[in-house]
Structure formats: C-alpha cells, structure tokens
C-alpha cells in the first residue's frame, strides 16, 4: 500500500530548566506509516507526544534524531507544504482580519488566484458551518468554536492531499462536532488522507481506518481498530441480559453460581459469560425461574478500554526526564 507519511525512528528531546541544560524526551523512536486515502487516528493521553509529532512533521520544531517523509518528500523540503494542510492544536491567527480576509490571505500565500481563492473561502466557510453573518467579523470577536471552524477552513484552502488535524473537535458544540465529523468523512470520500489527533474516542471509533496509540512518547499500539480489539484480552466475553427475574432467584438455579457475576441494569439483569456453553447454563436457569431473555451479544471492547489497557511496546525504558 502507498505510504503517504513515513516516520522513521523520530525522537525529540526538549531542553528545559532555567539554563536549558536538562532534557525531556517527548518522543522516543517513533516509526509509523500512514497510507493514502485513510483516516488515521493518533491517540494518547495528555503529554503523550502527539502535538510534538505533528509539530515535527510540520517543521515547526526540529527532531533530535530520526527522519520523516510526507508525500515522498523529506520534511525538510518545505515546498511540499503547498500540498498539505494543518490545523494546529491552539490556532492563533492575526485577529484583526475577518474570517473571509484571513482565508483570502491563506489562499494568497498558497499562490491561489484571487477569484478562485474567494470562491474557495466562501465554500469552505459554509462547509465548516460558520454562519454567513460572521464571515465579515474580525477573528478577535470569535468564540473558541468559531475560531476552530476557521482553522479547519484554512487547513483545506489549498485543497491538500493530506491534512493534519490536531484536536479538530476541540471547543466545538455537539452540532459542530457532528458537522466536523461529517466533513472529515467527506474528505475520505474525496480521496484525501487525514491524520488526526483526538481525545474524543467515539469520534475516532466511527471515523478512523487505523489508529496509533502513543504512551509516554512511545508507540504502544498501531493497527485497524478491529485488529487491536482482537489482539487485546477479553474480546470473547458474551453479555446476556434477562428480565422478569431477580438475581437471587436466577443464582439459585445456576450450575456453579460463583462463575457468574450478575448486575442489575435498567434493561434487566446483566450477566457476562466467558464461553458459549455458559450462555446455555444461564438460559436453562432462566427457564426454571420463568424469566425472559432480553439479549445475548458479544461484548465489543470499546476504544476507551483499549486506550486504558495499552502499555508501551518496550516497558524497560520509559521516555521522560533524561537527567
Ligand atoms: N516546548 C516545550 N518545552 C518543553 N517540554 C515540552 C514542550 N512542548 C511539549 N513538551 C513536553 O513534551 C511532552 C509531550 O507534549 P505534547 O504537547 O506533544 O503532548 P500531547 O500528546 O499533544 O498532549 P495533549 O493531549 O495534552 O495535547 C509533554 O511532557 C510536554 O510537557
Ligand atoms: Mg496536544
């Protein structure tokens, strides 16, 4: 498959402390491939190194070691930036410009002819859901969510082949989140590649083809969500929900009752079992109590559980303070 982003052993140490003599390793030997046309989710807890990775790829900071290529160009080759888009984590724009003026300015530095950039600016502001009554308002009067929408529009003004989004849902209300989610899905339909960091796991779950999870600057997991779920433990659990019976009544009829944990939920009594034959035991007991079967379904591990479970690939050496 075509790799559109190739990261090889990328490491970043920040100089910290009053004399800048101490080093903190924010990213530790990251190697990663992102393929053409996929939506790639880049996850990790606060401080895991996601923004550092994006800043390195955007050449806003320089790596301590390692290399990376985007669209077959070394990241040092900034001419490639004409073909990519970037939404920073905390976009800071020249805030005396209006939304339209700002997009026009961004289009201008990308070398887009005037008529075309005006057309694109209007089209993108509509697409990111910024109300037309605000298009001629100065950015300093914008709310966080409105600025985020303008930030997304500027990331797309040059019709990029790949777009890097650092927390694209940040500051958005539920409607805005939905709009941006649809926008990102539409980008894939257009054949674009999206590399996005997000903490909103439900969005990642519905959008991303593959995800990588960073932990303490190291790559802990990478792959399609279904694959990662399969590799992780607990994927064979089955959930049985029953109603019209109480826990004590059911437990009396269960063979090996200690094997089962029963929890009351609004939908009924919930029993998690490890094997299919245990489902039969629950159903047999249920018949004896006269209860009703509500549902039997495999427990799908959520991304959140996977996220909490990940450990660094090499626990031996952790990134962090180097001195
Ligand atoms: N300019 C800097 N100087 C010193 N340390 C930094 C600097 N920027 C980031 N760090 C450190 O590098 C580590 C990674 O930070 P980074 O911003 O990349 O994390 P992140 O995964 O984007 O987190 P978040 O989810 O909170 O945005 C953190 O320990 C952070 O304190
Ligand atoms: Mg960040």
- Angle CA 234–240–246, to nearest 5: 130
CA–CA separation, 231 and 304 (whole Å): 15
8 Å CB contact between 192 and 287: no
What pLDDT, on the 0 to 100 scale, is given for residue 276?
Answer: 83
Domains: count for the chain: 2
**Is any ligand 1 atom within 6 A of the Cβ of residue 105?**
no
Q: For ligand 1, say whether the CB of 61 is within 6 Å of any of its atoms.
A: no
CA of residue 320 to ligand 1 center, whole Å:
11
Ranges in the chain, pLDDT < 70: 1, 231-236, 300-301, 311-323
The verdict on 142 and 201 lying in the same domain is: yes
Q: What is the pLDDT of residue 165?
A: 97
Pairwise CA distance, residues 233 & 178, whole Å: 31
Question: Within this chain, do residues 155 and 291 fall inside the same structural domain, yes or no?
Answer: no
94 in the same domain as 166: yes
Instruction: Note the residue count of the chain.
Output: 323
CA max distance for the chain: 78
Clarify whether residues 205 and 85 are in a common domain: yes
Residue 220, SS3 per DSSP: strand
Q: Is the CB of 289 under 6 A from ligand 1?
A: no
From CA 10, how far away is CA 306, in angstroms rounded? 24
Q: Is the CB of 52 under 6 A from ligand 1?
A: yes
- Alpha carbon of 88 to ligand 2 centroid (Å): 9
Q: Are residues 7 and 145 in the same domain?
A: yes
Give me the CATH number covering residue 22: 3.40.50.300
d(CA 294, CA 133): 51
**Helix or strand or coil: residue 112?**
coil
Give yes or no for a contact between 47 and 319, defined as CB atoms under 8 angstroms apart: no
What are the backbone angles phi and psi of residue 72, rounded to the nearest 5°?
70, 15
* Ligand 1 contacts CB of residue 14 (under 6 A): yes
pTM: 0.83
Cβ–Cβ contacts within 10 Å for residue 206, how many? 11
Q: Are residues 91 and 216 in the same domain?
A: yes
User: 31 and 166 share a domain?
Assistant: yes
Between the CA of 47 and the centroid of ligand 2 the distance, in Å, is 7
Predicted pLDDT at 234: 53
Q: Is residue 287 part of a domain?
A: yes
On whether both 213 and 255 belong to a single domain, the answer is no
| Residues 218 and 245 grouped into a single domain | no
> What range defines the domain where residue 203 resides?
3-224+305-309
Residue 323 resides in a domain:
no
| Residues 199 and 254 grouped into a single domain | no
Contacts of 45 (CB under 8 A, 6+ apart): 215
Q: Are residues 206 and 243 in the same domain?
A: no
Q: Residue 235's pLDDT is what?
A: 56
Q: Is residue 58 part of a domain?
A: yes
- Residue 213 within any structural domain of the chain: yes
DSSP helix/strand/coil, 98: strand
Residue 45 Cα: closest atom of ligand 1: 25
Do 175 and 283 share a domain, yes or no? no
**Which own/partner contact pairs does 270-277 have at CB distance under 8 Å and 24+ positions apart?**
270/239, 270/240, 270/241, 271/239, 271/240, 271/241, 271/242, 272/237, 272/238, 272/239, 272/240, 272/299, 273/237, 273/238, 273/239, 273/240, 274/236, 274/237, 274/238, 275/236, 275/238, 276/238
Atom 6 of ligand 1, residue of closest alpha carbon: 14
pLDDT at 273: 86
The CA-atom distances, in angstroms, between 165 and each of 73, 230, 296 are 20, 28, 39
Residue 277 resides in a domain: yes
pLDDT of residue 251: 83
Q: Is 49 in the pocket of ligand 1 (CB under 6 A)?
A: yes
Q: What is the pLDDT of residue 315?
A: 44
The two three-digit tokens of residue 96, written as one number: 């005396």
What are the start-end ranges of the H helices in 66-112?
99-109
Q: Is residue 232 part of a domain?
A: no
Domain-embedded: residue 94: yes
Q: What's 288's domain CATH number?
A: 3.30.70
Ranges assigned E (strand) in the chain: 3-16, 22-35, 39-44, 65-70, 73-74, 84-87, 162-166, 193-197, 210-215, 218-224, 238-243, 261-265, 268-273, 292-298
pLDDT digit string (tens) for 87-117?
Answer: 999 888 888 999 999 999 999 999 999 999 9
**Does residue 96 sit within a domain?**
yes
Residue with tokens 């039969």: 280
CA angle 76, 3, 68 (to 5 degrees): 25
- Give the integer Cα–Cα distance in Å for 298 and 277: 14
Nearest CA to ligand 1 atom 19: 47
């Amino acid at each position: 498959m075509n790799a559109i982003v190739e990261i090889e052993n990328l490491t970043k140490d920040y100089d910290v402390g009053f004399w800048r003599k101490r080093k903190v390793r924010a990213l530790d030997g990251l190697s990663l491939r992102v393929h053409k046309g996929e939506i790639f989710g880049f996850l990790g807890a606060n401080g895991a190194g996601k923004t550092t990775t994006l800043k390195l790829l955007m050449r806003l900071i320089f790596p301590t070691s390692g290399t990376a290529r985007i669209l077959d160009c070394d990241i040092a080759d900034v001419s490639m930036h004409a073909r990519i888009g970037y939404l920073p984590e905390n976009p800071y724009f020249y805030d005396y410009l209006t939304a339209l003026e700002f997009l026009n300015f961004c289009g201008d530095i990308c070398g887009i002819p005037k008529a075309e950039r005006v057309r694109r600016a209007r089209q993108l502001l509509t697409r990111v859901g910024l109300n037309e009554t605000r298009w001629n308002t100065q950015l300093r009067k914008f709310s966080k969510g409105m600025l985020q929408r303008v930030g997304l529009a500027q990331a797309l003004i040059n019709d990029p082949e790949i777009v890097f989004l650092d927390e694209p849902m940040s500051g958005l209300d539920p409607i805005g989140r939905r709009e941006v989610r649809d926008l990102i899905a539409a980008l894939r339909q257009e054949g674009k590649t999206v590399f996005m960091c997000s903490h909103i796991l439900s969005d990642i779950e519905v959008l991303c083809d593959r995800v990588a999870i960073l932990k303490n600057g190291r790559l802990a997991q990478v792959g399609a969500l279904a694959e990662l779920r399969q590799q992780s433990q607990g994927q064979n659990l089955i959930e049985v929900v029953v109603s019209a019976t109480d826990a004590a009544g059911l437990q009396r009829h269960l063979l090996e009752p200690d094997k089962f944990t029963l929890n009351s939920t609004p939908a009924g009594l919930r029993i998690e079992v490890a094997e299919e034959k245990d489902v039969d035991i629950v159903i047999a007991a249920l018949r004896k109590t006269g209860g009703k079967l509500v549902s039997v379904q495999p427990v799908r591990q959520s991304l959140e559980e996977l996220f909490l479970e990940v450990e660094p690939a090499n626990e031996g050496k952790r990134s962090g303070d180097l001195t």
